[in-house]
Structure 1
Amino acid sequence: MKITYVTINLILILFSSSLLFSSEKVKNDEKEFLISIEMLENNELQLVCTEGCAWETLSFTLSNNENDRMVNTYGLNVIENQDTNPNKGLALFLFSVQKSGNGLQLKGIKGTRWTDLNFSLRKDKPASVDNAGVTL
């Protein structure tokens, strides 16, 4: 009887560890993106993508009473439910950007490990946003 319990426990441990490693593989296969965000004069926001995007630079004006702007792999104001990614070298992500007081609020919708980021930008000091969060 004791051998049976040991065998069952070993099988459960092996099964659990295989599930753990398979979920790690999914996270490691996720393509990364890296975007620099800088506030310019007159509430103009400039985004520069250096990794994982089909675009290089986006710029637009934000005000406190304006709707969210959607940013994804292919640019600005692109349809939210675009699930295809024909270029496998690109990251597949979608987030919204909104002005919030003196700062920004980003909401991760797809391809990010964050759901909400709130931060203030200092003049001439861009923030870096990636899959994991923001660096000021």
Structure 2
Amino acid sequence: MKNIICLFLLTATLVSCGSKKNANEVSRDFNIEIVSVIDNDVKLKCTQGCAWTELSFTVNNYQPQGVDAYGMTSNTVNTLADVSDNLPDFKFTVAKTDNGLNLERIRDTGWNKLSFSCRSECNQRIDYEGTL
């Protein structure tokens, strides 16, 4: 009986050490500036809540590009959240339009869609709630 109790306690301890946080403890604090959109090149700058500080990518044929706290990512909905660190769990897509950008929520933002008229320099900021 003692062995069963010890085994149970050891298992519970190992399972609880598997991650640093759970989904309810994920920060929502992020701040990203859309610096510029020149031709098909998009430049972003993250000042809070990202593992990256500057991110540049090319949006081809108006196809959306996924962005999260780690940088460029897939634009699929069913990728799992990373709860192994203190970074926010946001994920959205960036798609070029004829006169700017569309951002669409995939996961953990307070907004569903944002649109910006932006040619060359943008200086538009976004966070969990939307635009700043």
TM-score (norm 2): 0.70
> Quick one: which amino acid aligns to residue 116 of structure 1?
K
Residues 38, 121 of structure 1: 8 Å contact kept: no
Show the counterpart of 1:86: 84
Higher helix share: 1
> Quick one: which amino acid aligns to residue 84 of structure 2?
P
Show the counterpart of 1:74: 70
Show the counterpart of 1:97: 94
Deviation of the 1:116 alpha carbon: 0.6
Deviation of the 1:122 alpha carbon: 5.0
> Quick one: which amino acid aligns to residue 31 of structure 2?
L
Indicate the SS of the match to 2:131.
strand
How has the CA–CA distance of structure 1 residues 129 and 56 changed in structure 2, closer, same or farther, with 3 Å as cutoff? same
Which is greater in Rg? 1
Show the counterpart of 2:40: 43
Return the alpha-carbon distance in structure 1 between the equivalents of residues 62 and 39 of structure 2.
Answer: 14
Indicate the SS of the match to 2:50.
coil
Deviation of the 1:40 alpha carbon: 4.6
TM-score (norm 1): 0.68
Deviation of the 1:47 alpha carbon: 0.6
Indicate the SS of the match to 2:88.
coil
How has the CA–CA distance of structure 1 residues 93 and 103 changed in structure 2, closer, same or farther, with 3 Å as cutoff? same
Q: Which runs of 5+ in 2 are unaligned?
A: 1-23
Show the counterpart of 2:116: 119
Deviation of the 1:121 alpha carbon: 2.0
> Quick one: which amino acid aligns to residue 86 of structure 1?
S
The superposition leaves residues 63-115 of structure 1 with CA deviations (integer Å, 9 ceiling, x where unpaired) of 4x231100011110247513122112x11110000011111000011110000
**How many residue pairs were aligned?**
107
- Structure with the bigger RCO (C-alpha within 8 Å, sep 6+) is 2
Deviation of the 1:39 alpha carbon: 1.8
> Quick one: which amino acid aligns to residue 92 of structure 1?
D
Return the alpha-carbon distance in structure 1 between the equivalents of residues 92 and 57 of structure 2.
Answer: 15
> Quick one: which amino acid aligns to residue 115 of structure 1?
N
How has the CA–CA distance of structure 1 residues 40 and 74 changed in structure 2, closer, same or farther, with 3 Å as cutoff? same
RMSD across aligned C-alpha pairs, in angstroms? 2.2
Return the alpha-carbon distance in structure 1 between the equivalents of residues 129 and 121 of structure 2.
Answer: 23
